[in-house]
Structure 1
Amino acid sequence: MTDREISSTRLPLVQRPRRNRKSDWSRRLVRETTLDASDLIWPIFVIEGEGRREPVSSMPGVFRQSIDLAAQAVAEAAALGVPAVALFPNTDPKLRDEKASVALDPNNLVCRACRAIKETAPDIGVITDVALDPYTSHGHDGLLSGDEILNDETVAVLAAQAVTQARAGADIIAPSDMMDGRVGAIRSALDAEGFQNVQIMSYAAKYASAFYGPFRDAIGTNKTLRGDKRAYQMDPANTDEALREVALDLEQGADMVMVKPGMPYLDIVHRIAETFHTPTFAYQVSGEYAMIMAAGQNGWLDEERAMMESLLAFKRAGAAGVLTYFAPRAAELLRDAK
């Protein structure tokens, strides 16, 4: 085409959205959603011993760490601006039993890790998981009778577990068990023991997902789990049910709610945030992390760009923050980009 022909093809447009995209400064100026280190919560796995660091084979770059190393790593994450960590134990199989007895031990892995982290990094928030699966010999989140997960009996243990963790210094109690009525029971138990200011972040919409496999590898429940968890975790087909679960947990005293998994459930995150206008978090679970890492390591996508894009998607959907194994790495990139 000649220059005259090219000139004659120009469209008589008044609105040209690309004008706002033409340069980096302009894109930053009109950006609707931003991601910051303060949006990130780092889930970490703790093990017994000292100076121990074991790779999680199904989660490249993620390690189980002894308490001393975990406390040091948390301090480094705090220096990057990460505001909170979530603790998950890999309990010695010899200590697991049908009643999850060690869950109530004030010297269990989580309680000792909580105290150590508070000594090393007192200004970072510590979130502790309330559920029985790391402590049961059968791998379920509740007490088992035959093939049935007992709801009310489990809730009584969960409330005691929450108090035990609060005494160890936990800032946020995060029940992930999906038993009915557990938030109200935990709130009552915490208040009765003088822990009125300990917050509750409820796993309000936790789905029975295939994306949890690497996490169960990390905490050692893949081999112990009998059957599956569909009798208490949510059906991936349901959305209205998630709103009912959130409403119940807020009525019972939850301060914040969570959706798990994350990326496959961005519609749920958005509906909850828009409906309740309450702090809503998403958990970018182990399977999501593993997929991005595997694809990146195989050269199928740009690992860092995929990581940051995925985290931004949670914020765009309405999440107040994200639990992600990428937290320290993402925080470092965000710091360097400033």
Structure 2
Amino acid sequence: MDPLSMAATLVTVAAFAATAPLTAAASASPLAMAFWRNCLGLAVLVPLLLLLRRRQVALVVRGKRPVLRRAQWRPLACGFLAASALACHFAAFMTSTRLTSVAMSTALVATQPVWQALIAAGQGVRASGRTWAGLTLAVVGAAAAAGLDLQSGGTAVLGDLLAVVGAIALAGYTALSERARADVSTPLYSAFTALVCSLELLALCLLAHVPLTGFDRSTQLSLLGLLFLPQLLGLGALNFVLGRVPATTVSVLLLLESPIAALAAWWMMGQGIEPATVPWLLLIILGVAIVVTSGAGLRRSRRASVS
């Protein structure tokens, strides 16, 4: 990797690693944080969509072109399901950061490539023995770490389960996005998924009677941090890196998000890591790294990461 690509990769990892600590440090409901993160991201994406597709927008306004071509309806139906999976990911993962440690939450949600490989296997893609070995290591590490949380009691186990649900939902999003992206441009697809995700999270907040206003200053700063760091800076740097570095290398380096997030939580909140869980967290990261480098499911995750 050249120095510029390495710097952009480090920016990507650091920006994504800020998600869990910023959510855990805020006083607002994590569901409200998830909604505003997507809503603010949508407010940025729509002007970009209008700017990048201004000629098409002008034709639509003049009535000379439909908003969507007939061939795009079926991909957008898959996109709707993908956006629903993404909303589930945000709701589950960001809630888990309040119930368990940031280190556990980020390590468990990083098992997304493992579930991606299982989805690929369910669709008939043959997985190598190395893939199954990595999957086994990740599952054993996750089960052992969750077992320690079960012994300690409290809400940690529920947080662990929600983090796993977030990982499975993210794997579903990437699998569905592969089908949805066939005839839909990146700006349109990104804006569409952000819109659907925001509306579904808004409905969830209203049903759960979650307050969406009246946040204190620290929560407002956390929301701005979520917008500028993972939503804008992180995705922007990731797209830049994927144009210069193989997706496998980037996927492995993104596993550094878990330890960096744990260090950020320790610095911001004084949240420590139980020494007994460290070997199992490392085992999770090792297992996921083996799955990623084995190539199973990488076709899907490569496309989904760019979107």
Higher relative contact order (CA 8 A, sep 6+): 2
When the two structures are superposed, what TM-score results if normalisation uses the length of structure 1?
A: 0.25
The structure with the largest alpha-carbon Rg is 1
* Structure number with higher strand proportion: 1
* Structure number with higher helix proportion: 2
